[in-house]
């Protein structure tokens, strides 16, 4: 009897010891981190595969030179420019986890990513967590939050130093623009030029809390849509006429093109239309009005319009430095001027 009890005790002890060492070994491969909205996320110490669920999370991975780890990504086919393939040559293999803006969960599961990165507010995140995936949320709605997101993601991959260096470069540029925004346009315009940025169509714009409003402000202009607090705003033709912007900027993904706006009789009384001050914001890696390090290019572009190319050479040097440091791309003067001189 005693012998049987001893055998049972040994068996239980063995099972307990096995489970202890098994789970200890498993847990030691993971760490707990907080994402940008304060969620505790259990992630692998060594992340070997990533899926990004929106173009801006993808931009973070690109800026940190981590695209080799990206097994799938949403990047926005209508948002990217000719430079995208130069920083993410793998992108032609991306996209099988998405149908438009919807997630294909079985395809995500088949790729078995160690980490999923997503912008705040994206649909389908709760289901991914229920499926057992580590989901790290970023917030890119403002330039400062975008830079913070870059730093947070960099920490997951041991790239804190690289993130700190590129963030410092961009912050220096943004601070420089901040210091001159009130007086920049004074030599050209008696008052700050009123600027309107169109989104996916001419009657969709961006309110006071948007990154587009921030770009206009640092450029020395005044956003005519700042009366709205929302990020995105749908308006009617009469509202746009009443805004009467001096400059209309079409995003690279706006449905209407310049000539369509110029020929639309509804808008003929608008100053920007009468004076043909309608321009399309460039897209090189991604559109220059969206959350990425290329927002510096967006500010240079708008300032170049306002100043009528006076500071073109200054902006070319600044952007050459940006693309070299952040994206390891050595762009020629002609390449950058061809983007900025769309303003002509």
The pLDDT of 288-316, averaged and rounded, is 95
185-234 pLDDT, tens digit per residue, is 988 888 999 999 999 999 999 999 899 999 999 999 999 999 999 889 99
Encode pLDDT of 115-172 as tens digits. Answer: 999 999 899 999 999 999 999 999 998 888 999 999 999 999 999 999 999 999 999 9
| Crossing angle (nearest 10°) for helices 211-218 and 160-180 | 50
**Cα gap 184→177, rounded to integer Å:** 9
Residue 343 has pLDDT above 90, yes or no: no
User: Which residue from 40, 37, 69, 64 is spatially nearest to 52, judged by alpha carbons?
Assistant: 69
Phi and psi at residue 195, to the nearest 5°: -125, 140
Helix (H) or strand (E) holding 279: strand 278-280
Domains 32-158 and 167-343 share a fold: yes
Tokens standing for residue 34 = 């907080």
With a cut of 60, say whether residue 12 has pLDDT above it. Answer: no
For residues 317-322, average pLDDT = 97
Whether pLDDT at 246 is above 80: yes
Provide CB contacts within 8 A for 176, sequence distance 6+.
Answer: none
pTM more than 0.85 = yes
Architecture of 32-158 per CATH?
A: 3-Layer(aba) Sandwich (3.40)
Tokens representing residue 213 in the block: 């409003």
Does CATH number 3.50.50.60 belong to domain 167-343?
Answer: no
Each domain of the chain, given as residue ranges in start order, spans: 32-158, 167-343
């Amino acid at each position: 009897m005693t012998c049987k009890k001893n055998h049972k005790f040994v068996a239980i002890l063995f099972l307990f010891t096995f489970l202890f060492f098994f789970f200890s070994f498993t847990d030691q491969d993971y760490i707990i981190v907080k994402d940008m909205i304060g969620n505790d996320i259990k992630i692998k110490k060594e992340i070997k595969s990533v899926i990004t669920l929106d173009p801006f999370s993808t931009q973070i991975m690109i800026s940190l030179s981590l695209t080799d780890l990206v097994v799938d990504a949403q990047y926005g086919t209508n948002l990217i420019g000719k430079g995208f393939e130069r920083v993410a040559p793998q992108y032609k293999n991306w996209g099988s986890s998405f149908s438009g803006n919807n997630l294909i969960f079985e395809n995500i599961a088949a790729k078995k990513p160690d980490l999923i990165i997503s912008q705040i507010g994206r649909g389908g995140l709760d289901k991914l967590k229920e499926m057992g995936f580590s989901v790290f949320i970023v917030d890119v709605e403002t330039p400062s939050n975008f830079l913070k997101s870059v730093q947070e993601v960099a920490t997951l991959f041991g790239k804190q130093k690289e993130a700190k260096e590129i963030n410092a470069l961009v912050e220096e540029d943004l601070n420089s623009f901040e210091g001159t925004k009130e007086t920049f346009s004074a030599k050209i315009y008696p008052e700050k030029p009123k600027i309107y940025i169109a989104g996916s169509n001419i009657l969709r714009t961006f309110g006071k809390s948007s990154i587009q409003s921030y770009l206009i402000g640092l450029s020395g202009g005044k956003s005519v849509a700042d009366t709205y607090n929302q990020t995105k705003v749908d308006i009617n033709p009469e509202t746009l006429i009443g805004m009467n912007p001096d400059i209309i900027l079409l995003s690279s993904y706006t449905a209407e093109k310049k000539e369509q706006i110029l020929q639309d009789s509804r808008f003929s009384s608008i100053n920007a239309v009468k004076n043909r001050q309608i321009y399309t914001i460039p897209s090189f890696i991604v559109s220059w009005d969206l959350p990425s390090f290329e927002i510096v290019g967006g500010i240079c572009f708008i300032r170049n319009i306002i100043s009528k190319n006076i500071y073109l050479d200054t902006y070319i040097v600044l952007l050459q430095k940006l693309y070299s440091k952040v994206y390891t791309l050595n762009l020629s003067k002609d390449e950058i001027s061809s983007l900025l001189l769309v303003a002509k």
